[in-house]
Amino acid sequence: IIVHAGAATEQAGIFASSPQAFNTVYDVNVGGAVRLVQAFAPAMQGAGRGNFVFISSINARMGAPSLAAYAASKGGLETFMKGFALEVAADGLRANCVAPASIDTAMLRASFDQQPDPAAALANMMRRLRDDASLTRRAVSDALDVAESAVESWEAASRNHQRLPGA
């Protein structure tokens, strides 16, 4: 099992962000996945089995203020995973994304701290999570929560190239 959990962001709105910053975020969050696949998939294909798990984000489809580069890159990661999964399914490889809701990290806290009203930004995010019927878990998670959700999702997944909802 290969797990890609790349997470880079720039704490800036769309108009304040540079193209170079978008490229840097994309290189970590999508380019890192490409490099892992290119490094490890050939041996797995030779063995006729293997699993790739990519950690995406709810922001791939919801977006987030001041996290446009991050959200766009996670959307790109999910699309990359789908194409990769289709290319290697016949070789016995599986690929899935786990798309957690917000994970309590320094990166998340920094994004709230940059908002004019951090408490209101957190409350707005929690409202958006509460109102999203597709989520199985709606609270801000910690890393252990995400890992437990990923294991549950992998055990439940029977198809290749799934985007597995929320931690």
Measured CA to CA, the distance from residue 52 to residue 111 in angstroms comes to 29
Neighbours of 115 (CB within 10 A): 16
Q: Given the residues 22, 70, 80, 84, select the one marked as catalytic.
A: 70
Measured CA to CA, the distance from residue 96 to residue 164 in angstroms comes to 7
- Token look-up 């890992």 returns 147
Name residues whose C-beta falls within 8 Å of residue 110's C-beta, 6 or more positions apart in sequence. 11
26 is catalytic: no
3-state helix, strand, coil in the chain (%, to 5): 55, 15, 30
Measured CA to CA, the distance from residue 58 to residue 166 in angstroms comes to 7
Burial 52-87 (b: 16+ CB within 10 A, else e): bbbbbbbbbbeebebbbbbbbbbbbbbebbbebbee
Active site members: 70
